Structure 1
Amino acid sequence: MKRECPECGDKIVGRIDKKFCSDACRNSYNNRVNKDSKNLIRNTNNRLRKNYRILEELNPEQKTKTSRGKLIEKGFDFNYFTSIYTTKAGAIYYFVYDQGYLPLENEYYALVKRDS
């Protein structure tokens, strides 16, 4: 039974369970299949990554306070976060993975890092 590489169509030689003719074909195939098919997903992930890096940079001590202006100056986008946590007291924290922020008075934010 002739086996063909799903990427280039060449004959596969070697082990019976081998799926690709070479590492290059395997990488090429997987990169093509796993590529974000829509720009929306890629752009959303990029914005989340940027927000995370900004929060991480401004919050090296795991808990601090910063202004809205400083966040915006660094390019933070308040429309992108991964989860919301509401405390028993009703305070609403917005999280980008494990880095979070809590809106305070006078356009200030408390920055926190959630314990693993």
Structure 2
Amino acid sequence: MEQNRVCQACNKVISGRSDKKFCDSYCKSSFHYQKMIEDTPKFYSRVDKQLKLNRRILKIYNKAGKVTVRSNVVLDLGFDPNFFTHYWKNNKDEVYLFVYEFGFMKKKESGIEKYVLVKWQDYMFKKQL
């Protein structure tokens, strides 16, 4: 007596080999793709999400190429300075942390914490750490 087997992706009845798990290659591919997405480590998703948020915030506040903004302004929007992609040191040994093409450096002026925001420039490529 033959048992009715169903496709693991779409639940259609399968005919053919006894060890067959999917009705066609599309269902097989779709099933494994969904499984891969579900198994993606949460850590990488969190890092990617925070980097995208940081970049968006820096882009909003840095329209001119260089600007200074109070730290609480960007921090209140969810900016996290611990998430960055690379860094660059200028001639004064000041280190700018970058989120893709937008950089920032923490600075204290008159007791107020601020961020100096910059945009990546071609000359920085030669002086990169």
Equivalent positions of 1:63-82 (< 5 A) are 63-82=66-85
2:118 aligned to which of 96, 105, 112: 112
| Alpha-carbon distance between aligned partners in 2 of 1:57 and 1:26, rounded to the nearest angstrom | 40
The CA RMSD measured in Å over matched residues stands at: 2.3
User: Contact 1:95–1:101 at 8 Å: present in 2 too?
Assistant: yes
SS at match of 1:60: coil
| Alpha-carbon distance between aligned partners in 2 of 1:29 and 1:75, rounded to the nearest angstrom | 35
SS at match of 2:59: helix
Structure with the bigger percentage of strand: 2
| Alpha-carbon distance between aligned partners in 2 of 1:26 and 1:62, rounded to the nearest angstrom | 46
SS at match of 1:89: coil
How many matched pairs?
Answer: 101
The residue type paired with residue 43 of structure 1 is R
4+ residue stretches of structure 1 with deviation over 6 A? Answer: none
The alignment's TM-score, normalised by the length of structure 2, stands at 0.65
Could you say which residue in structure 2 is the equivalent of 1:15? none
Task: Give ranges in structure 2 of 5+ residues lacking alignment.
Answer: 1-7, 10-20, 123-129
The residue type paired with residue 85 of structure 2 is T
User: Contact 2:87–2:98 at 8 Å: present in 1 too?
Assistant: yes
Could you say which residue in structure 2 is the equivalent of 1:61? 64
Could you say which residue in structure 2 is the equivalent of 1:4? none
Could you say which residue in structure 1 is the equivalent of 2:55? 52
Task: Give ranges in structure 1 of 5+ residues lacking alignment.
Answer: 1-6, 13-20
User: Contact 1:36–1:42 at 8 Å: present in 2 too?
Assistant: no
Displacement of 1:33: 3.1
The alignment's TM-score, normalised by the length of structure 1, stands at 0.71
Q: 1:39 to 1:92 in 2, by over 3 A?
A: same
The residue type paired with residue 66 of structure 1 is V
Displacement of 1:88: 2.5
Could you say which residue in structure 1 is the equivalent of 2:127? none
